[in-house]
Amino acid sequence: MSDKSDSAVNCPPAPGTIAQLVRQMLEAIGEDPNREGLRKTPERFEKAFCYLTSGYRQDPGKLLSGAMFQVSYDQMVVVRDIELYSLCEHHLLPFFGRCHVGYIPRKRVIGLSKVARLVNLYARRLQLQERLTRQIAEALMEQIDPEGVGVVIEAQHLCMVMRGVEKQNSRAVTSAMLGAFREHAQTREEFLALIHDGSRQPR
């Protein structure tokens, strides 16, 4: 499903610069960028790459500030199975999977869709899965001041599937536990049980 608010985020100034570099790259590998199938590829790549890195030009504070609500609720809030797509900073190849986010409100909650948008904001950058996990957790701690935050990401990396060790079914699992999720084993265990539904294994 397209995200209309994010699709309006454009590349920095000097449009066409990335397309020109792609043209040079195609020539460097022995291709003809003027042949029919590749003629518009540089511009298509630039448009796609700008979208996939649009998180650099978004502010997490601004994203969340319009959807914070005062509420008397002190139980865990969990949003699980958030689809995630990002680019590995080492090879510029995609990694993708699921992100699970939980927090215990202190005084404020945020709209549930904003949790998914926050994941997108940080995923749409050149990333390491470990950093991405931590950034999501730290942004929630800073912006809504909860009792604690837990984030788990399970992802498949095409740099492992398509090249290198070529392990087709390998997945990386990373977690960031802050506040009550880090300090209290019972809280952490409740979160992990909720995201795995007590019956299914991590994907």
Q: What is the pTM of this model?
A: 0.88
Is residue 70 annotated as a catalytic residue, yes or no?
Answer: no
Return the HEC string of 135-186.
HHHHHHHHHHCCCEEEEEEEEEEHHHHCCCCCCCCCCEEEEEEEEHHHHCHH
**Radius of gyration of the CA atoms of the chain, in A:** 19
> What per-residue confidence (pLDDT) applies to 53?
96
Residue 78 lies in a domain: yes
Is residue 127 annotated as a catalytic residue, yes or no?
Answer: no
Residue 174: strand pairing partners: 153
Catalytic residue among 31, 43, 91, 156: 91
Residue 60 lies in a domain: no
Torsion 100-106-110-114 (CA) sign = negative
> What per-residue confidence (pLDDT) applies to 163?
75
Is residue 11 annotated as a catalytic residue, yes or no?
Answer: no
> What per-residue confidence (pLDDT) applies to 159?
86
CA angle 187, 69, 180 (to 5 degrees): 15
Assign residue 117 the CATH number of its domain: 3.30.1130.10
> What per-residue confidence (pLDDT) applies to 12?
67
Catalytic residue among 11, 99, 157, 190: 157
Residue 39 lies in a domain: yes
| Structural tokens at position 118 | 């926050």
> What per-residue confidence (pLDDT) applies to 162?
81
> What per-residue confidence (pLDDT) applies to 36?
96
Catalytic residue among 138, 159, 184, 196: 159
Is residue 100 annotated as a catalytic residue, yes or no?
Answer: no
For residues 77 and 177, membership in a common domain is answered with yes
> What per-residue confidence (pLDDT) applies to 197?
78
> What per-residue confidence (pLDDT) applies to 105?
95
For residues 41 and 71, membership in a common domain is answered with no
For residues 121 and 170, membership in a common domain is answered with yes
Assign residue 39 the CATH number of its domain: 1.10.286
Amino acid at 134: R
For residues 135 and 163, membership in a common domain is answered with yes
**10-residue averages of pLDDT along the chain (203 residues):** 48 83 97 96 95 95 89 92 97 96 94 96 98 98 96 94 71 96 97 80 44
Residue 58 lies in a domain: no
Is residue 159 annotated as a catalytic residue, yes or no?
Answer: yes
Q: The domain containing residue 23 runs over which residues?
A: 4-52
